Amino acid sequence: MRLGSTIAARQLKYSLFLAVALGLVIVAIRGYQDYLWLEGVYQQSNQRIFSSSAPVATEVMIKRDRELANIMVRGMLNNRSIARVILTNADDGIFFELKRPAGEIPVSRWAEKMFGGLQTITVPVRDPERKPVATIGEMVIELNPQVYVNAYMTRLSWSFLATMILAAVMALCFAAMSYFVFSRPVIRLGNYIVNANPTDDSRPLQMPPEHRHDDEVQLLGSVTVGLFGMIRKQVGELRRARDELQNANITLEERVAQRTEELNSAMQKLEVLASTDPLTGLPNRRAFLGRLEDAVAVWRRRDTPVSFILLDIDRFKALNDTYGHQAGDAVLVALADTLRTTLRSIDIPARMGGEEFAVLLPGEELQGAMILAERLRKGLEQNSVEYGGSKLSFTSSFGVSGLPSAKGLAEFDQDVAAQFDVLRNSENTDIPGILYSLADHALYDVKATGRNRCKQADFSTLSEFKDQLPSDI
């Protein structure tokens, strides 16, 4: 934002507001005066019509001259405030009646409220030759001030338009005068303060912009120059003190940085050792369970499925006893290599301990996990390890569990789906432990029924974990 733009905007806004407010007051006063003037004209015009028509109406009623009545009434209707004229006599009732065509002078709500509104004036017609003077009829006149209302509204509209234009011009003139007399010098001084750098002692301190009037702006500029001088002096002293302190501490900082780097490197190595199985290079049990907890949290928040494969080498103890532990280690390494080459980059294989391995499949439904487990089973079955001149073949058993998404729950019955919903909403439940137990039970069933197979966990047994789940499951 350009410096000073808000000041100019506020000056123009408040000047325009004040001018408009003053203009509205002037319009109100002028409108009131116009109303009083038009009301007087309206009353005088009507009174003049009544006065001039009364003698003619008397002659009409005495002579019963309808032609003269027509001429008189039409002359009265030339006054556009008269809507209807009725002549009645005392004997026969209505003698003559004439009114304007419908819609010639519309009636608005303002005509009913201004200038006395819609009126009906009754003027008695008397015969001056009779003694005593007797009323021989009446002249009924209906008045509609709509013409005067229109004239008043027109005058008020033009008055408002002219006053608002004048108010806008006055506001612009006042804002321009205020800007050039006061705001612009202050803005120039503000630009000088913003752009000046009193801490740069490599060049002379710039002087504030020239101001031709000896007023508060010039005084403020002089005070600013003095303040900049003090700042430059203080900054110079601080720089000298900083340089001395830096020279004194440079050796200490280098030693601290070196020690910190060595400590960070050692901690990284310890972290790798603490989370990696040294034989296979796969994540160990501790690291795997941590990633499993993260995947469970994502399942809760985003409904992202996660699957868990637990596998165990069949008859591994017999292999160790027959060929030795080094042969068993070779089989473990071969299994880890097969997992690396078969799995996706986002999948996480791990050695849980001994001959037991696990695979975490983020974003994978149970059906896909079963397909992958079967592929791993066949790959391990077809694989062999050469050791000591012999080819060692081995098989593995698989147990699969996981947390399906809302879409994946359609594959289960309502009771199991309800148990998963309770599991998702539970706060202090060891869900990773439950998944591990379900996969371990499935793996145990495979071991007990022939080995070298894949089995999905029986999720209907979730109710057996009631000690770990909320009571409402």
Peptide bond before residue 132 is cis, with ω within 30 degrees of 0: yes
| Residue 414 within a domain | yes
Mind listing the pLDDT tens digit for each residue in 13-48? 777 788 888 888 888 898 888 888 888 888 888 888
Q: Which pLDDT score, from 0 to 100, does residue 473 have?
A: 39
| Residue 175 within a domain | no
Mind listing the pLDDT tens digit for each residue in 346-391? 999 999 999 999 999 999 999 999 999 999 999 999 988 988 888 8
- Output 320-324 pairs: Cβ under 8 A, ≥24 positions apart: 323/387, 323/388, 323/390, 323/392
| Residue 291 within a domain | yes
Confidence class of residue 233 from pLDDT cuts 50, 70 and 90?
confident
Name the least confident of 60-69, 115-124, 186-195: 186-195
Tell which of 143, 165, 187 closes a domain: 165
Q: Are 180 and 173 in contact (CB under 8 A)?
A: no
Pair of tokens at residue 306: 């996660």
Q: Are 145 and 40 in contact (CB under 8 A)?
A: no
| Residue 446 within a domain | yes
For residue 339, the domain's CATH number is: 3.30.70.270
Confidence class of residue 273 from pLDDT cuts 50, 70 and 90?
low
Count of domains for the chain: 2
Q: Which residues pair with 141 in a beta bridge?
A: 85, 121
> In sequence order, what DSSP letters do the residues of 185-225 get, joined into one string?
HHHHHHHHHHH--TT-TTSPPPPPPP-SS-SHHHHHHHHHH
Domain of 103?
A: 5-165
Phi-psi region of 455 (alpha: psi -120 to 50; beta: other; left: phi over 0): beta
Does this model's pTM top 0.95? My answer is no
In the DSSP assignment, the letter for residue 457 is: -
Instruction: Tell me what the pLDDT averaged over the chain comes to.
Output: 84
**Residue 32 one-letter amino acid:** Y
| Residue 360 within a domain | yes
Tell which of 142, 165, 188 closes a domain: 165
Count of CB atoms situated within 10 Å of the CB of 434 = 20
Phi/psi of residue 26, nearest 5 degrees:
-65, -45
Average pLDDT over residues 333-340: 94
Q: Quick one: 316 and 450 in the same domain?
A: yes
Q: What's the CA gap between 80 and 101, in Å, rounded?
A: 12
Q: Are 399 and 309 in contact (CB under 8 A)?
A: yes
Average pLDDT over residues 299-327: 93
